[in-house]
Amino acid sequence: MKQGPPTVDEAAARARAWLMEQARRGFPGTAHVMQFPAWAGFTWGAQHQASDLFTRSVLAGVLLDIGETVDDDPAWQDELRDIARREAHYVAQGRLADRAGGWSYFPELPELPPDVDSLAAAISLFARVAPEHLRLCERPIELALAGRRADGSLSTWLIAPEDAPAARSLMRCAVDRHWGDGADADVCARFHAALQQANARQHAGDIAAGLQWLLKQQGADGAWPGSWYGSPAYVIELAWPLISRLGAGHEAPLRALRHLLSLQRPDGGWGEGQSVPLDTGLAVGLLCRAQPDVSSDLTARALSVLCEQQTLTGHWKATPWIRMDIGRAQGRVSRSATYGDETLSTAVCLRALMQSRKHR
């Protein structure tokens, strides 16, 4: 009997089987459940809120990425595309009927406005696999662009003039008290990349303005601050569709990749404090796409970490993906609430395995 971790091919086969079973079941484990207690000022909705819309929209995009790596398996490509299209229909049905901003991360929490990040995830998915739903995004896009500030940044929140006055008041109070209204590099990156996918010509000026602001936010070390995500690799991934088109030799993508490489841990993986599947999968996948001539030893060590961390059932455990800083609106962060999803982690890790096979 074979001992030790699976090979890359074996790990990919196991992950594929597990992920396709989750797809057949409608991705039951993707709901994010979070408590919003009355003592903290949330008095208009249920204290426990749950939603899977955002996770499933991002997950569907990763499935499409996987499909692009399997040129030798058209049947699986078709299956992945069918699943992604089903997810797009699901996301479209989740558009808010009572607020013009489109999509809210927790749609039944009245204090939480629709947001640009959720909108961008929907735009990206619709543009790739269900363009007939892009019409649902037209007014939310108008609202987002109308909120552009003088420095080129966007507000994360979409509170429309036509929303009911009571709803507007409740959402604005919650932004001031709970969510904060600063400019978020991760959100702006996803939104402008989504516009690029949906209609680059129509939004050329908007995309250029967003890119220039994003470049100014890049730190001296090559990283961007992440307001809503805990992984530096994920923020770079969000920015990559924009900065990768700046041309060969441009300093911004080079600095971003150098920063990503500097975060690799001694065992070959990525993660804060220890190597974790999501961060490692994100980093390997990004390096394979952005720098296909990267050292084989570097990727081999990272792939070894992924294979060792895969569970016997074929999935990878959830590791922190979304991060919400409590107290950010007042500038005094008391703690950070995090959320991870094993289905998304597994999809990201499988994408990394498949992309590494394509480039080896």
The type of residue at 105 is Y
The predicted pLDDT at position 236 comes to 96
Instruction: State how far the Cα of 273 lies from the Cα of 336, in Å rounded to an integer.
Output: 16
- Domain assignment present for 1: no
- Cα 112 from chain centroid (whole Å): 19
Contact (Cβ atoms closer than 8 angstroms) between residue 47 and residue 38 = yes
pLDDT digits (tens), the chain, 360 positions: 456 789 999 999 999 999 999 999 999 999 999 988 888 888 877 889 999 999 999 999 999 999 999 988 999 999 999 999 999 999 999 999 999 999 999 999 999 999 999 999 999 999 999 999 999 999 999 999 999 999 989 999 999 999 999 999 999 999 998 898 888 999 999 999 999 999 999 999 999 999 999 999 999 999 998 889 989 999 999 999 999 988 767 899 999 999 999 999 999 999 999 999 999 999 999 998 887 666 677 888 999 999 999 999 999 999 999 988 766 777 776 667 889 999 999 999 999 999 998 766
Containing structural domain, residue 341: 8-359
- The total number of structural domains in the chain stands at 1
DSSP one-letter code for 338 = E
How far apart (Å, rounded) are the C-alpha atoms in residues 32 and 54? Answer: 9
Picking from 90, 117, 93, the residue whose alpha carbon sits closest to that of residue 105 is 117
- Rounded to whole angstroms, the Cα distance separating 330 from 359 reads 47
Q: What is the pLDDT of residue 248?
A: 65
Host H or E run for residue 339: strand 335-339
Nearest Cα to 345, choosing from 295, 259, 281, 300? Answer: 281
Here the tokens at position 355 are 């992309």
Query: Alpha helix locations (H) across 130-231?
Result: 138-146, 165-174, 185-199, 204-217
Q: Is residue 150 part of a domain?
A: yes
pLDDT of residue 1: 46
| Domain membership flag for residue 103 | yes
CATH code of the domain covering residue 255: 1.50.10.20
- Domain membership of residue 313 (yes or no) is yes
Instruction: Let me know if residue 47 belongs to a domain.
Output: yes
- CA 34 to CA 198: how far, in whole Å? 32
Which residue do the tokens 């590791």 mark?
319
Instruction: Give a yes or no: residue 3 inside a domain.
Output: no
The DSSP symbol for 43 reads -
Round to whole Å and give the CA distance between 167 and 158: 12
**Is 33 a domain residue?**
yes
2 lies in some domain: no
